[in-house]
């Protein structure tokens, strides 16, 4: 006697079940298919720009030794002071989830001897970065950046080109009313004098500074200009400006960039308070934002000392990074239309077990000749599958019922003409191609 359903029930495995559904870590959103269609558009634009301007794509690990950022991003930067995710390995090494790309790219440039290539070396990258921030609009703990970096030239033409590339990225994505904020923060020759003047100025206003800035006053008064606190912000206007202390070389460099921007017809605003949050910048710093919003879409600048600081030969460099989520937000707001590029030309319907076997084989035959197909095999009835076919808007439907499966035929239905015909399965592809040609359906 065979087993009865009751016997099965008796032996059924009990699996442990979660009482609640788990959530992703705070500030680390999932990226769902619809949003990925938008993101793919962004990455495509990044890739096209990278190719056009002669950049090679680089990928670096998500984890790096913590000291890369302590040394590279800088000990007084907000990132290092407050925003790093640090992991201790079982071997007790300290690794940080990358909070940005530039030090990693410089590390890879040195480690892989990329400095042996003709200069400047142009690299682009994209991927997730991690910062321990309070999640809010445009601010996440895991977000993506795309980067463009140019290593090995001090020429201001590359500062202008970097800005142009980001500007182009945003205009390729149909963004309007963009504003470039630009400033210079000088070099090791002239910045210390500005530093001193800033320190004196803020010291005289100490009582109006927030607790963080009181601390910044001691370690790096430049950072005060970056503070988002209102009372500190209101002090900025009276603060000494770098432009009044520039050495002749930095002055010439800045002037040339502005001339290039004029020639390129790019809208810019010299923002004397722009210093940016990273310690390694020299000379140029810039951000691009929408005129109607304060959140920066991208930021960057020149970092002439970083390669040397990380153990290489003195190598001037310039680059920048854009936040993908901030771009997505603008695209959504602008109702930027993206269609799924995969449009099925055929919808495949199978009714019954034998028909499903045939359908799986036909699906592969169609894939081999690159005819895009959709299916909904989990729906058993013809009616339910036809409803799905309507949703996909495929111009042709192939129906395999019990009879067709046995006869090795298919029913080929022209959805537009509402006509159908029985075709030998061997001739399926030939017939489809013929019809596509008659209908002027491209690609085939
Ligand atoms: P902000 O001043 O807005 O904090 P930042 O100076 O810290 O920006 P960068 O280090 O220059 O930012 O990073 C480059 C770009 O990455 C920013 O212009 C922005 O588009 C994006 N970005 C920075 N932090 C976040 C974040 N927490 N979430 C999402 N995007 C971010
Ligand atoms: Mg920040």
DSSP secondary structure of 47-62: HHHHHHTTPEE----S
**Residue 131 CA to ligand 2 centre (angstroms):** 8
Per-residue pLDDT of the chain (444 residues; tens, 9 = 90+): 567 777 788 888 889 999 999 999 999 999 999 999 999 999 999 999 999 999 999 999 999 999 999 999 988 888 998 999 999 999 999 999 999 999 999 999 999 999 999 999 999 999 999 999 999 999 999 999 999 999 999 999 999 999 999 999 999 999 999 999 999 999 999 999 999 999 999 999 999 999 989 988 988 889 899 888 888 989 998 999 999 999 999 999 999 999 999 999 999 999 999 998 888 999 999 999 999 998 999 999 999 999 999 999 999 999 999 999 999 999 999 999 888 778 999 999 999 999 999 999 999 999 999 999 999 999 999 999 999 999 999 999 999 999 999 999 999 999 999 999 999 999 999 999 999 998 877 654
Q: Give which of 206, 221, 223 is closest to 78, Cα–Cα.
A: 223
**Cα 339–341–344 angle (5° rounding)?**
105
β-pairing verdict for 94-97 and 282-290: unpaired
Q: CA 192 to CA 77: how far, in whole Å?
A: 17
pLDDT attached to residue 277: 80
Confirm whether 33-190+246-333 and 346-438 share one CATH topology. Answer: no
CATH placement of domain 346-438: 3.40.50.800
pLDDT at residue 2 in the model: 66
The whole-number pLDDT of residue 142 equals 98
For residue 76, the model assigns a pLDDT of 85
b/e string for 50-64 if b means 16 or more Cβ within 10 A?
beebebeebebeebb
User: At how many degrees (to 10) do helices 428-438 and 353-368 cross?
Assistant: 60
Q: Which helix (H) or strand (E) holds 397?
A: strand 396-400
Ligand 1 contact via 183 beta carbon (within 6 Å): no
Q: What is the predicted pLDDT for the residue at 279? A: 83
277 CA distance to ligand 2 middle (Å): 7
Which ligand is in closest contact with the Cα of 82?
2
Q: Is-contact 83 103, C-beta < 8 A?
A: no
The atom of ligand 1 lying closest to the CA of 141 is: 27
CA distances from 94 to 63, 83, 128, 443 (A): 10, 15, 19, 52
d(CA 394, CA 345) in angstroms, rounded, equals 5
CA torsion sign for 110, 114, 116, 122 is negative
Q: Check pocket membership of 98 for ligand 1, CB cut-off 6 A.
A: no
Torsion angle of alpha carbons 104, 106, 108, 110, nearest 10°? -150
Residue boundaries of the structural domains of the chain: 33-190+246-333, 346-438
28 lines ligand 1 (CB under 6 A): no
Q: Which ligand is nearest to the CA of 133?
A: 1
Contact (Cβ atoms closer than 8 angstroms) between residue 160 and residue 178: no
Report, at the CATH architecture level, how domain 33-190+246-333 is classified: 2-Layer Sandwich (3.30)
Please work out whether the CB of residue 288 comes within 6 Å of at least one atom of ligand 1: no
Please tell me the residue having the least CA distance from ligand 1 atom 11: 299
Pinpoint the alpha helices (H) of 91-155. Answer: 102-111
323 Cα: distance to centroid of ligand 1 (angstroms): 6
């Amino acid at each position: 006697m065979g087993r009865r359903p009751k016997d099965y029930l008796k032996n059924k495995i009990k699996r442990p079940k979660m009482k609640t559904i788990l959530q992703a870590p705070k500030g680390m959103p999932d990226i769902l298919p619809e949003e990925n269609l938008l993101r793919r558009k962004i990455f495509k634009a990044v890739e096209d720009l990278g190719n056009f301007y002669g950049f090679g794509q680089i990928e670096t690990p998500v984890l790096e030794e913590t000291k890369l950022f302590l040394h590279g991003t800088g000990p007084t930067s907000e990132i290092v002071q407050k925003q790093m995710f640090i992991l201790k390995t079982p071997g007790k090494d300290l690794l940080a989830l990358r909070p940005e790309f530039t030090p990693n790219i410089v590390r890879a440039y040195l480690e892989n001897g990329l400095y042996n290539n003709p200069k400047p070396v142009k690299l682009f990258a994209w991927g997730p970065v991690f910062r321990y921030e309070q999640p809010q609009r445009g601010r996440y703990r895991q977000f993506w950046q795309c980067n463009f970096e140019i290593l090995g030239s001090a020429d201001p033409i590359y500062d202008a080109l970097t800005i142009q590339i980001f500007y182009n990225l945003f205009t390729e994505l149909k963004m309007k009313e963009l504003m470039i904020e630009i400033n210079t923060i000088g070099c090791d020759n002239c910045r210390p004098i500005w530093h001193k003047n800033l320190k004196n100025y803020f010291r005289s206003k100490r009582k109006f500074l927030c607790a963080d800035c009181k601390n910044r006053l001691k370690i790096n008064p430049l950072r005060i200009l970056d503070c988002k606190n209102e009372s500190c912000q209101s002090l900025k206007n009276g603060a000494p400006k770098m432009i009044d202390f520039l050495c002749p070389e930095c002055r010439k460099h800045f002037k040339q960039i502005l001339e290039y921007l004029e020639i390129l017809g790019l809208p810019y605003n010299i923002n004397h308070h722009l210093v940016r949050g990273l310690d390694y910048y020299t000379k140029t710093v810039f951000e691009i934002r929408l005129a109607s919003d304060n959140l920066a879409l991208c930021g960057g600048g020149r970092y002439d000392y970083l390669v040397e600081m990380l153990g290489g030969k003195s190598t001037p460099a310039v680059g920048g990074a854009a936040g993908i989520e901030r771009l997505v937000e603008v695209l959504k707001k602008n109702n930027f239309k993206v269609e799924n590029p995969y449009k099925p030309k055929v919808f495949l319907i199978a009714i019954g077990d034998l028909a499903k076997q045939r359908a799986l084989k036909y699906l592969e035959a169609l894939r081999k000749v690159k005819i895009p197909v959709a299916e909904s095999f989990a729906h058993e009835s013809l009616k339910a599958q036809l409803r799905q076919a309507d949703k996909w808007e495929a111009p042709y439907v192939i129906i395999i019922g019990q009879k067709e499966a046995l006869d090795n035929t298919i029913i080929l239905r022209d959805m537009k003409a509402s006509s159908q015909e029985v075709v030998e399965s061997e001739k399926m592809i030939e017939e489809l191609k013929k019809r596509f040609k008659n209908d002027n359906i491209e690609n085939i």
